[in-house]
Homo-oligomer: A and B are copies of this chain.
Amino acid sequence: MNTTELLSLLEQLTRGELDVASAHGRVVEALRARPFEDLGFARVDHHRAIRQGFPEVILGLGKTPAQIGAIAAEIARRGSTLLITRASEAAYAAVRAELPEAVYYPDAGIVALRQGDIAPGKGTILVCAAGTSDLAVSEEAALTAELMGNDVERLYDVGVAGIHRLLGERERLSAARVIIVVAGMEGALPSVVAGLVSVPVIAVPTSVGYGASFGGVAALLGMLNSCSSGVSVVNIDNGFGAASIASLINHL
């Protein structure tokens, strides 16, 4: 009930077009409405999809195939694009039983079902990866970004040990609107990339390495301490998280 509606209601009441009980009931209802519903909180999923261009995503980690299958069916039934990350073969089987047209991308560990409900991003998201061992995380990022409506370019195996490989691709670097940089070991690639471009760089440390890489901690610290400005960081191996913020940026 907006103030115009309220004014009208009160005027109806004074004009006798409305009895006190009815007026009382309608105003009480307006007062009682759960504020979070008034703010749109209660139907958040639909609002999120409308505003952000992407519905709820399922993190496959720590859920049973049966649970994943059930949630996936519910999301798809709404006509929403389905995205499941960290999905196993078994999870895919459970989803396919419900949604035969769902697709499994084993390199990325993703199950997806596109439904045409996603708004396109404005530019290109470039996913750079330091080495071939970073493939799984890079593909999680690249595929997530694509599903979220973005044009995605891939630039893999351009680690800093052979800096010429990166420098030779400066045009593709310059053409991107957002760059996701995936690297394990010392995690130096985001610093070098960010020094070459003028767009935001989202850095993803990977758990690639051994010994004192400590499961990605070395790369994470390297990226947090980047001497280049324009870099921010997500969790270790979190290709999905990098794609999410990159997509938000690319939809601005």
Interface residue from B199, B207, B211 paired with A236 (Cβ < 8 Å):
B211
Interface residues of A (CB under 8 A from B): 1, 3, 6-7, 10-11, 13-14, 20, 23-24, 27-28, 30-31, 34-39, 41-42, 44, 48, 51-52, 57, 59, 61-63, 67, 123, 130-133, 159-164, 167-168, 170, 177-178, 185-188, 191-192, 194-196, 198-202, 205, 207-238, 240-242, 244-245, 248-249, 252
Query: Which residue of chain B has the shortest Cβ distance to A86 in the bound complex?
Result: B210
Q: Are B211 and A218 in contact (CB under 8 A)?
A: no
- Which listed residue (B24, B191, B245, B249) contacts A10, Cβ 8 A? B24
Inter-chain contacts of A42 with B (CB < 8 A): 164, 168
Query: B28 and A3: CB pair below 8 A?
Result: yes
Out of B31, B231, B245, B249, which one reaches A38, CB within 8 Å? B31
User: Is B224's CB under 8 angstroms from A214's CB?
Assistant: no
* Smallest beta-carbon distance A99→chain B, Å: 20
Which residue of B is nearest A196, CB measured? B163
Docked pose: A238 CA to B213 CA in angstroms? 12
Q: A10–B226 Cα gap in the complex (Å)?
A: 46
Q: Which of B41, B212, B229 contacts A245 (CB 8 A)?
A: B229
Nearest Cβ on chain B to A66's Cβ, whole angstroms: 12
Q: Is the CB of A23 within 8 A of B36?
A: no
B163 contacts A192, C-beta separation under 8 Å: yes
Question: Is there an interface contact between A221 and B214, defined as CB atoms closer than 8 Å?
Answer: yes
Query: Do B170 and A39 touch across chains, with their CB atoms under 8 A apart?
Result: yes
Known interface pairs A11-B20, A13-B10. Does A161 touch B212 (Cβ–Cβ under 8 Å)?
Answer: no
Min distance, Cβ A223 to any Cβ of chain B, angstroms = 7
